Structure 1
Amino acid sequence: MLGETTDDDSNNEPNPTQTAAGELADAIRTTLGPNGLDKMVVGENGTVIVTNDGSKIIEWMDITHPVGRLVEQAAAAQDNTVGDGTTTAVVLVGALLEEAATLRSAGLHPTTIIDGYGRAVEAALDQLAQYERGLHSRQDDRLTQIAKTAVTGRWDDASTDRFAELTLSALQAIGFDRSRLTLKSYPGGELRESVCLDGVLVDLETSSTSLNTLSHPRTRTHDEPAIAMVDAEIGIEEPNNVESVELQDATQRNAFQAHEQDRRTELVEQVVQSGVTVLLCQKSIDEAVRTALAQRGVLPVERTRRDEFDVIARATGSTPVMSVDDLTADDTGTVGSVTQRTVGTAQTLVLQGCPEEHRATLLLRGGTPHVAEEVRRIVADCIDVTRVALDDGVFVPGGGAVPTALAMDLAALSREIPDRTQLVFDGFGTALEALPRTLATNAGTDPLTTLTEIKQRHDAGAETVGVGPDGHPRDMIDAGILEPAAVFRSALQRAVAVVTQILRVDDVVRTSTNERTADGEHDHAHAATGGYPWAVGH
């Protein structure tokens, strides 16, 4: 029969390329779902990271096998595209490869499996539409449930609610335009202290601005300040070429110093006369000029990050100039207020009430630097998932309800297939069931019993039943466990694409670094990324 292999025993041996991908799937399988466990990743320098974020775990792992890198790239693409579903995609890759190995043992040729997987995923995506539900508007309460689902299992229940609240309030504040939202996380506080600020927060820790200078009482808060922006150094101009000045006596030295002082005074007067109360410089400000400005009631901030500099210019209506000499009142912009604020041990400036471009900043807190960074990652994922759901306009019940329903649909469709491709459809469905089985296993319940009960309830018409947070079958819509349809759709497509690519590989051929490619160019080996030494596929 077409697609069958011979009885060669080599077809039954484990494929090393599939084994490498399966090891990666097994490594993060236990992180899936609300009861997923964390991974402790230890860096070569002793840095310890604890998280259950599948995308970050894979990013930090030192993956040595080239097939493992293919899975890593697919996971990164999944995370960059929809912000979630990385673990789902990798678990599906492992399950599909496991079923492919079983099918090969049954005598099916890889090309037959590849063709069957392609037909099966098309059928599954067609069936997916009947399980999708529509979102009504940006004020739909189910957006909050989608946000909570994205966070569930990564923190306690109270924190999950807080994450969702912060996410929705921030997105609503800027009209769901993610480009106008900034995330800042600082250690030394608790999650409940996190707030959504109306405006832009500038971290002074990234500049060399003197904190003693900025602590002057007259520069602590400004209401409706005039904001000027200079995109060059402020101070005594230095010559481009190496030059020397020879001073003959004390009179010449005093004259030289007086000249420099006059130039500094001129710069300060130019700023003051233009009515500026806050001066942001993208480069350095002469220390004497900075001190004089602060004494005259002007708040000087130097070495502002380029991205923040550009954002502030747009939001305040300021026109950056290349020299203080060119600065006039027409170049200044304004905001509702500028406040110096200490967050933990960090000094910041908060520009609130931006008139030209409405901005918002999520100020996030965590007890330690690691926790603060984890909070930022969770909120970023929560924002991405909420945005994807709103853009796509549809969601599906979570908890493995949809994979189970699709597996049952494929089982029904396979009965109508006259050739051995029906075995591939059945194997594809079994791979989909790996998701609810994993959720049940991670919750400490018997996966076979749980999956059997879910299927029985689906047969009775309850197609939204999945694995609940306690590991037992539950209606996902009633439980508020919802996820964007785009996340599962993308994970399924990427998993099949990677598995198809892997199934076409029968061996890994290594070449030396000085080997030339077909077009005559040197094909250099993949350079070490310096990742954490959790190697897969040595």
Structure 2
Amino acid sequence: MAEPQIAYAQDEHGRPFIVVREQGKKTRAQGIQALKNHISAAKSVAQIVRTSLGPRGLDKILISPDGDIQVTNDGATIMQNMELENQIAKLMVQLSASQDSEIGDGTTGVVVLAGALLEHSEALLDRGIHPIRIADGFERACQVAVSALEKVADKVDFGKSKGEQVELLKTAKTSLGSKIVSKAGDLFANIAVDAVLSVADLDRRDVDFELIKVDGKSGGSLEDTALVKGVVVDKDFSHPQMPREVRNAKIAILTCPFEPPRPKTKHKLDITSVEEYKKLQEYEKTTFEDMIKRVKDCGANLVICQWGFDDEANHLLLQHDLPAVRWVGGPEIELIAIATNGRIVPRFEDLSPEKLGTAGLVKEVGFGTTRDRMLVIEECANPRAVTVFVRGSNKMIIDEAKRALHDAICVVRNLVVDNRVVYGGGAAEIVASVAVAKAADEIATIEQYAMRAFASALDAIPLALAENSGYAPIETLAEAKASQINTNDPRIGIDCMGSGITNMREARVFDPLVSKRQQLLLATQLVRAVLKIDDVIEQHNVE
């Protein structure tokens, strides 16, 4: 008996079609298994940034799809540039972004802490404790930890004079210790403190970040970085024969172009003879001269224009001894207006002497053998606007220096808002860990297990610091913790740059209290959110 023939659907080359049934077998993770999947994803992200913690932490090299390279150990930057598929991993990215926007520093620490909390909560889940009871215990422990830090926090007094800035400089330098720019840490700490105090309102305890501009130019070394009491604009004078320096500048800040007005109609103008062309040329020249006359009549001796102007207008400006800068961007125009106490003028008809900005010196600065030039506006009418001008050997160094400077400026800003500090090197976390473990012993309910787990998770920060510094992590942590308890000294921490444990006040390692408090609160909130998710709605195909 002949075997039955099987017919295959074939394409034009005789190859069989592979038919896949849609809506095939699918699976959903639910309950404890879903929670464990979330925790696993968060732990893997925390493990990546863990090695970047502390002054001896390692940098990461980030390569974009376009091949651009970033070398950084800034937690928020690393997290934002990682391509993550898992939703909980993306929550960790948002966690570090929240810390960055609120505080500016501590972006690596908050991710490591959240990862440690989730890791310890996994062991509690295995013991059969309900996720909500774990979350409640963590929140209770967080309150204990925050109040413990507030008790041991020291106040730092500071003022605008150099002698009163010592504590601010120490704190700024602590934040720069883990960055590429640490070799120029003293210079950058001074710049950060000077920049913040230049724009700070100490009576209202407020810092307007809009008045601090950070700009950079490759070439030179990090030590060439300087704080300019004024504005630096990446432009030069519009004509090469214009003067390179203007003293006692009266600046007309224009958002209208140097060109004849265009009628807003759909009609076109046909020129059929030489005479008509000459008339048009004469009209254009008359219009330019009228514009220049209006600027000169109001007393301006420098024009800064948001738009460009052609060679005809440029030549006339030179003839009338009126230096000009063109194509200055909107944010820079606004900063120049704030710094010089000038008004942005949208029409030439609106120009008047009281709308002019004033500056003691406007000069064009060159950079060695390159053609790069920049405009520096100094001795401004409003001394509160400042620019940090970063130099470095290449773009990668400058970008990392800008990120480091942002962190240092934020740290100083935090101290202006709240001048309490705790001590770094894991000292603050050990204080909180000891306080939480002690509070857990006094609680009769099941939350005590979650609180002990919280205390163990807090040890992850000093453990990582010791590990990244090449010490035996568990021995060093045990020694630091025992030393704190025996001497009742909350300043004992891990000296990453020295040999083991030391008094962090003497080592001059400070952290703003607001930064540590925010780390604890944000990490606890994220962990609570993760523990409440027990079902993954997105479905995944399986073989």
Q: Taking structure 1 as reference, are residues 416 and 345 closer, same or farther at Cα in structure 2, changes over 3 Å only?
A: farther
CA 1:385–1:13 in structure 2 vs 1: closer, same or farther (change >3 Å)?
Answer: same
Greater CA deviation, 267-276 or 470-479? 267-276
CA distance in 1, matches of 2:256, 2:301: 18
Please state how far the C-alpha of 1:166 moved relative to its aligned partner: 1.5
Write the mapping of 1:113-124 to structure 2, written as runs, cut at 5 A. 113-124=134-145
How far is the alpha carbon of 1:85 from its aligned partner? 1.0
Letter in 1 for 2:536: V
What residue is the counterpart of 1:222 in the other structure? 246
User: Are 2:220 and 1:189 aligned?
Assistant: yes
- Whether the aligned pair in 1 keeps the contact of 2:418 and 2:514 (CA below 8 Å) is yes
Does the Cα contact within 8 Å between 2:423 and 2:505 map onto a contact in 1? yes
The answer (yes or no) to whether the contact 1:234–1:324 under 8 Å persists in 2 is no
Per-residue deviation at 1:290?
Answer: 1.9
Q: What residue ranges of structure 1 are gaps of 5+ in the alignment?
A: 1-8, 513-538
Q: Output the CA distance in 1 between the equivalents of 2:44 and 2:261.
A: 60
State the alpha-carbon separation in 1 of the partners of residues 345 and 416 from structure 2.
40
Aligned partners of 2:216 and 2:398 also within 8 Å: yes
Give TM-score, length-normalised by structure 2. Answer: 0.87
SS at match of 2:180: coil
Change (3 A) 1:290 1:10: closer
For residue 297 of structure 1, the aligned residue among 321, 324, 349 is 321
Name the CA distance, whole Å, in 1 between partners of 2:334 and 2:193: 26
Partner Cα separation in structure 1 for residue 499 and residue 178 of structure 2: 13
> Which one-letter code corresponds to 1:463 in the other structure?
P
Counterpart of 1:174 in structure 2 is: 199
The one of 313, 323, 326 aligned to 2:337 = 313
Q: Find the aligned partners of 2:509 and 2:194 in 1 and give their Cα distance.
A: 20
Does the Cα contact within 8 Å between 2:38 and 2:88 map onto a contact in 1?
A: yes
1:390 corresponds to which of 409, 416, 423? 416
Residue identity opposite 1:267 in structure 2: M
Q: 1:286 to 1:123 in 2, by over 3 A?
A: same
Answer whether contact 1:219 1:298 (CA < 8 A) is retained.
no
Distance 2:529 2:260 in 1: 61
Are the counterparts in 2 of residues 135 and 390 from structure 1 also a CA contact under 8 Å? no
1:465: which partner in 2?
492
Q: Distance in 1 between matches of 2:357 and 2:481?
A: 63
Number of residues paired by the alignment?
497
| Pairing 1:400–2:426 present | yes
Distance across 2 between alignment mates of 1:418 and 1:427:
16
Task: After TM superposition, give the deviation of residue 12 of structure 1 in Å.
Answer: 7.5
Letter of the aligned partner of 1:318 in structure 2? G
Q: How does 1:422-433 map to 2 (within 5 A)?
A: 422-433=448-459
What amino acid sits opposite 1:150 in the alignment? Answer: S
Using the TM superposition, give the Cα deviation of residue 174 of structure 1 relative to its aligned residue in structure 2, in angstroms: 3.4
Is the Cα contact below 8 Å between 1:466 and 1:476 reproduced in 2?
A: yes
Distance in 1 between residues matched to 2:432 and 2:270, nearest whole Å = 85
**Percent identical across equivalent pairs?**
28
Deviations 1:1-55 (A, max 9, x none): xxxxxxxx98489711111111110110000001100011111111111110111
Q: Which structure has the larger Rg?
A: 2
SS across alignment from 2:344: coil
Contact 2:51 2:58 in 1 (8 A): yes
Matched residue, 2:125: 104
Q: CA distance change for structure 1 residues 330 and 165 in 2, over 3 Å: closer, same or farther?
A: closer
Deviating beyond 6 angstroms after TM superposition, the runs of 4 or more aligned structure 1 residues are none
Equivalent-residue separation in structure 2 for 1:244 and 1:419 (angstroms): 85
Q: Counterpart in 2 of 1:202?
A: 233
Give yes or no for the alignment of 1:322 onto 2:343.
no
**Cα offset for 1:403?**
1.0
Q: How far 1:164 moved relative to its partner?
A: 0.8
How far does residue 376 in structure 1 lie from its aligned partner after superposition?
1.1
Instruction: Report what 2:436 is aligned to.
Output: 410
The one-letter code matched in structure 2 to 1:275 is G
Counterpart position of 1:155: 180
Which residue does the alignment assign to 1:501? 529
Q: How does 1:483-494 map to 2 (within 5 A)?
A: 483-494=511-522
8 Å CA contact 1:121–1:493 kept in 2: the answer is: yes
1:184-227 deviations in whole A, cap 9, x for unaligned? 1111111111111121112218xxx74xx1x32x4211110221
Q: Do the aligned partners of residues 338 and 488 (structure 1) sit closer, same or farther apart at CA in structure 2, a change above 3 Å counting? A: same
Alpha-carbon deviation of 1:250? 2.3
Partner of 1:284: 308
Q: Is the 8 A contact 1:315 1:359 kept in 2?
A: yes
Question: Residues 511 and 297 from structure 1, CA distance in 2 versus in 1: closer, same or farther, beyond 3 angstroms?
Answer: farther
Matched, 1:20 2:45: no
User: How large is the Cα RMSD of the aligned pairs?
Assistant: 2.1
- Equivalent position of 1:377 in the other structure: 403
Alignment-mate amino acid for residue 490 of structure 1:
Q
CA contact (8 A) 1:12 1:104 kept: no
Does the aligned pair in 1 maintain the 2:231–2:378 contact within 8 Å? yes
Residue in 2 aligned with 1:6?
none
- Secondary structure at 1:225 match in 2: strand
User: What is the one-letter code of the residue matched to 1:174?
Assistant: V
Q: Is 2:506 the counterpart of 1:478? A: yes
CA–CA distance in structure 1, aligned partners of residues 35 and 133 of structure 2: 18
Mean Cα displacement is larger for which, 314-323 or 304-313? 314-323
Describe the shift of the 1:482–1:317 C-alpha distance in structure 2 as closer, same or farther (beyond 3 A): closer
2:309 counterpart letter in structure 1: I
TM-score where L is the length of structure 1: 0.88
Which of 72, 89, 93 is the matching residue for 1:72? Answer: 93
Question: Residue 473 of structure 2 corresponds to which residue in structure 1?
Answer: 447
Query: Partners of 1:326 and 1:120 in 2: how far apart?
Result: 62
Contact map agreement 1:201 1:350 (CA 8 A) in 2 = yes
Contact 2:32 2:125 in 1 (8 A): yes
Letter of the 2:467 counterpart: T
- C-alpha distance in 2, partners of 1:380/1:70? 23
Partners of 2:514 and 2:99 in 1: how far apart? 11
Match of 1:236 in 2: 260
Amino acid at match of 1:265: E
**Matches of 2:181 and 2:385 in 1, distance apart?**
30
1:254 aligns with 2:278: yes
For 1:507-522, what aligned pairs fall within 5 Å after superposition?
Answer: 507-510=535-538
**Unaligned runs of at least 5 residues, structure 2:** 1-29, 202-206
